A and B are shown apart, each in its own frame.
Chain A
C-alpha cells in the first residue's frame, strides 16, 4: 500500500490555552501598559467606561466572528470571511486595511516600547529626563525605531519557538498585573472600604466616547485568533471560547487598571506621565520595586505585541497575495530561512517609518479605524451569509442573539469611527480609498465570493 496524505489535522498544533494566550497576549501589550495615562488623562476614572464600551463592541463582534470562523477556519481571518461572503471589493478594502492596520498597531506598540526603555534608562540614572534627545531624535523614538529594525531582522532570519516564548511572556505579564492591581486596589479602597474616591468624571461624560475610540486598539487581539484558524485544534469549540474568553480576561484587567489609575492621579498628572503612567501607579502603591517590575513588564508586553503584529501583517499580505489581490512576490517564502522575507520587511520597514512620526494617539486610532471597518463589515457578512445561506455555509457555532448582535455590532463599530480625531479619520479614509483604487487598478477581474 502506498498512500500520500497532506495530513491537514496533524498540522493543527494550537489548543484552547494557546489560542487564549495569543488573543490575551496581543491585547495586554497595548492597553494596560500604554493606555492608562493617555485615557485617564482625557477622561479620568470615567475612562473605565470607555474600556467597557470597547469590550462590549469587541464581544458583539467576537460572536459573529466566531460563527464565521467555524464556517471557514482558514488563515486570513476577517479578510477571508469578508472576501468570501461579500465579494472582492470589500475583501480588498479589508485585506489591505488589515495589513496597514496591523502595521499602525505595531508602530503604536513600538512607540510604547521606546517610552518604556527611556523610563528604565531614567530609573537607572543614565538619562536625567525622558524627553532627552540623541542627536535630533527623541530618545524614546530612537529606541522604538531600533526595536522595529531588530524585530524585522529577527523574524526574517527565522526566530523559532515564538509561540512558546509568547506563552511565557503572557503568563508572566498576567501574574505581575494581577499582583500589582490587587495590592493597589485593596490599598485604594481601604481595608474598611470607606475610601474617598473623588470625582468619577472630572472632565465630563462627553470625554468617554472619544476615549473609547482611542483605546479600542486594546481589543484588536481577539480577532487575531481567527487569523490562525487553520492551526487551531477543534476550531468549532476552541475559537468562540478563546475569542470571548480573552476579551473577558483583558476587559476586566483594563477596567480595574483604569479604575485604580483614574482614582490615584488627576487627569493633568496622568497626561504628563503619558505612555508610562502605569509605572507611576505601581510606584504609588508598591514603591520603587513596583515601578521597576512594571517597567520591565511593559517592555516585554510592548515588544511582544509589536512582534505579533508584524507577523500578522505578513500573514495578511500572504492572504491577499494568494487571492491575486497583490503580486505573488509579496508573499514568497525565502528558501534559506523559510520565512516570507518581502512581506516581513515591508511590514517591518513601514512600521519603523511610522514609529519615527512618534504620534502615539494617531497611530493607535488609525489602527483601530482600519480594524473597526473590518469588524463592521464582518457583522454585515454574517447578516448577508445567513440570509443568502449558500450551500457551503455550515458553521459549527451559531451566533446567539441573531440578528440583533451583528446589527448592533456593525452599527457600533462604524459609529466609533466618528469619535476619532480628524487626522486619524483622514488617514483611515485615505487608506480605505487607496485600497479601492488598488482594487480598480490591479484586481478588478478577480472574483472571490464563495471561493473556497
Chain B
C-alpha cells in the first residue's frame, strides 16, 4: 500500500475560538503536497446547524478564503471546505477518513524552515512519516533531526515488543536517504526521560517545524483532544501529525 502525501489543515472559524493565521512561509512549506483546508464553524447543540449556516455562512466563507489566500499565492493544489458542525472533532475524523488524508497540520507560527524535528516512537509509523517528510523537505535545505524519547523505565520486554528507538531511527534514516534526502542533512537525538512528552515539547521548542506520528489509528478524531494534541497545543510552531496507515478502504458512503 503506497501513500500519496496529502495534508489536511483544520481551522476554527467561529467567534468563540482564536483562529491561527497561515503565514506565507507555512504555505510555502506545504506547497509540495495537495492541501485540503477545512473551516470548522462550531454550532452549540441548542442551535440548528442550518440556522447558524443561514446567518453566518457568508462571513465564515470570507474568513476561510482569507485563510486560503497564502496557499493560492504559492500556486499550490488547494481545496477548501466549509462545514458547520455540533462536533468539530468528529467532523474532522470523518473528513480525514473520507478523503484519506495522510497528515494533519496544526497551524503555528513559521518564518523560515531551517531546522525540522521528526519525532519517531516505534517502527510502525516509519514508512508514513518518511513519505510525508520527504515530500515536504526534499526541495528545501533544512537540517533534519530524527528524535526519539524513551521512557526512563522502559525495560527490555518493551524494547522487544516495539523495537528500540535506535532501530526506529535507523529505519527512518534509511527511508529518507533512499528517498533522496542528502545524508549530511540528517542528525539524530535519543533522550531517556521520565516524561517523554514533556521532554519532546522542550526539545521541539528549538525547531521550526515538528513532524510526529500518531499512536492510534484514530488520531484525526482527537485533533481537538488527546495525546498529540496536548503536545501540539503546548507548542507555537506548526506540527505535522502523520496518521498511522490503515488498511481500511476509503469510505465512499458520502458522495458530495
Contact = CB atoms under 8 A, between A and B. Distances in A.
Interface of A: 1-7, 9-11, 13, 75, 155, 158-163, 230-231, 311, 314-315, 318, 322, 331-333, 335-340, 344
Given A158-B44, A159-B44, A339-B44, A7 B81 contact: yes
B18 interface: no
Given A4-B61, A10-B94, A338 B84 contact: no
B208 to A, nearest CB: 28
Interface of B: 14-16, 42-57, 61, 64, 68, 72, 77-87, 90-91, 94-95, 98, 254, 256
B91 A75 contact: no
A336 B47 CA distance: 13
Contact of A155 (B16, B46, B55, B78): B46
17 contacts: A2-B68, A3-B79, A4-B81, A7-B83, A10-B254, A11-B49, A160-B44, A162-B46, A163-B86, A311-B46, A318-B51, A333-B52, A335-B15, A336-B15, A338-B43, A338-B52, A344-B46
Interface centre among B51, B64, B90 (most CB of A within 10 A): B51
B78 A338 contact: no
Contact of B53 (A6, A10, A231, A344): A6
A231 B81 contact: no
Contacts of A6: 53, 57, 82-83
Contact of B83 (A11, A155, A311): A11
B44 A332 contact: no
A331 to B, nearest CB: 6
Nearest to A231: B49
Given A6-B82, A13-B87, A161-B45, A340 B61 contact: no
Contact of B47 (A1, A2, A322, A338): A338
B85 A5 contact: no
Contact of A158 (B46, B56, B78): B46
A225 to B, nearest CB: 15
B97 to A, nearest CB: 11
Most buried by A among B78, B98, B256: B256
**Nearest 7 A/B pairs, CB to CB:** A162-B45, A7-B83, A9-B254, A158-B44, A311-B46, A155-B46, A338-B44
A159 B46 contact: yes
A344 B91 CA distance: 26
A425 B86 CA distance: 39
Contacts of A311: 45-46
B129 to A, nearest CB: 27
Given A11-B91, A338-B14, A3 B83 contact: no
B69 to A, nearest CB: 11
Contacts of B54: 322
Nearest to A8: B256
Nearest to B14: A338
A332 B55 CA distance: 8
Contacts of A2: 68, 72, 78-80
Contacts of B56: 333
Nearest to A228: B48
Contacts of B256: 5, 7, 9
A75 B48 CA distance: 8
Given A10-B254, A158-B16, 16 more contacts: A1-B77, A1-B78, A2-B79, A4-B80, A10-B83, A10-B91, A10-B95, A11-B85, A13-B86, A159-B46, A162-B45, A231-B86, A315-B48, A331-B51, A333-B47, A338-B44
Contact of B91 (A13, A230, A335, A339): A13
Contact of B51 (A4, A162, A333, A335): A333
A315 B47 CA distance: 7
A4 B53 CA distance: 14
Most buried by A among B16, B78, B90: B16
Contacts of A11: 49, 83-86, 91
Contacts of A230: 48-50
A6 B56 CA distance: 12
Contacts of B51: 75, 315, 318, 322, 331, 333, 340
A294 B187 CA distance: 65
B42 to A, nearest CB: 7
